[in-house]
Amino acid sequence: MKILKFKIISSTNEIAKKLAEKRKTEPWQVIAAEKQTSGYGRKKTAWFSPNGGLYFSVILPKSKIEDLQTLTILAAFIVAKVIKENFNLETFIKLPNDVMIMSNVKCQMSKPKKICGVLTENVISKEVKLSIMGIGLNTNIEKFPKDLEKRATSLKIELGREVDNEKILNQIVEEIRNQLKTISE
């Protein structure tokens, strides 16, 4: 797996798009960052991206739009599965692209909190020219700002320990590859 790693970057999706437009990438190239200064989700809403989190984008091979829609939903399931299998945390999907977990931390009752978001961006003319899947997973984030802490959590907050970002990244990308192969056949 080819991973282009950055210490700090504006947004992995933005840089992936720029590199792909200059034809400096190939399918399944991964662009990962330790920190994003302008991480974003849908409608350019900000994605909290300090050091510790896992932020990456995957250049997808040219596929049909229907397959990409399915893959976006599947990506959320894949992240949920990886979290469940590795850390035994109860995950669920807020369709179609957010992963939540039931958090007990600092709450008297468990509360659903967002742990991951998936944003697929396509560039289309008559056909799909470019597809990028961006994933932001709150792994080793210690603390969220006041306005987010009731809605967001991280694996570190839930588990009380650090996790291996690179291992998680590899598992997620491999699974996405397998799923795209299956739905495109």
Say how many residues touch another protein, by CB under 8 A. 20
Report the greatest alpha carbon distance in the chain: 53
Whichever of 74 and 157 has its CB closer to another protein, that residue is: 74
Least Å distance, CB 41 to another protein, is 9
Whichever of 8 and 123 has its CB closer to another protein, that residue is: 123
One of 7, 22, 23, 126 touching another protein (CB under 8 A): 126
Q: Is 176 helix (H, G, I), strand (E, B) or coil?
A: helix
If one asks whether residue 119 binds another protein (CB under 8 A), the answer comes out as: yes
Least Å distance, CB 31 to another protein, is 17
Question: Which of 58, 62, 20 has the alpha carbon at shortest distance from 137?
Answer: 58
One of 1, 8, 65, 107 touching another protein (CB under 8 A): 65
Whichever of 32 and 118 has its CB closer to another protein, that residue is: 118
In sequence order, the β-bridge partners of residue 128 are: 124
| Helix runs in the chain, H state only | 12-21, 65-87, 146-149, 155-159, 165-184
If one asks whether residue 118 binds another protein (CB under 8 A), the answer comes out as: yes
Q: What are phi and psi of 148, to 5 degrees?
A: -105, -25
The torsion angle over the Cα atoms of residues 11, 137, 112 and 175, rounded to 10 degrees, is 120
If one asks whether residue 43 binds another protein (CB under 8 A), the answer comes out as: yes
Least Å distance, CB 45 to another protein, is 11
Could you tell me which residues come within 8 angstroms of residue 57 by beta carbon, excluding any fewer than 6 positions away? 12, 13, 15, 16, 30, 31, 32, 132, 133, 134, 135
Q: Of the listed pieces 27-35, 119-127, 136-144, 151-159, which binds another protein according to CB under 8 A?
A: 119-127
If one asks whether residue 22 binds another protein (CB under 8 A), the answer comes out as: no
* Cβ–Cβ < 8 Å for 76, 96: yes
Side chain identity, residue 12: T
Stretch 77-116 residues interacting with another protein (CB under 8 A): 96-97
Residues that bind another protein (CB under 8 A): 42-43, 65, 68-69, 72-73, 96-97, 118-127, 129
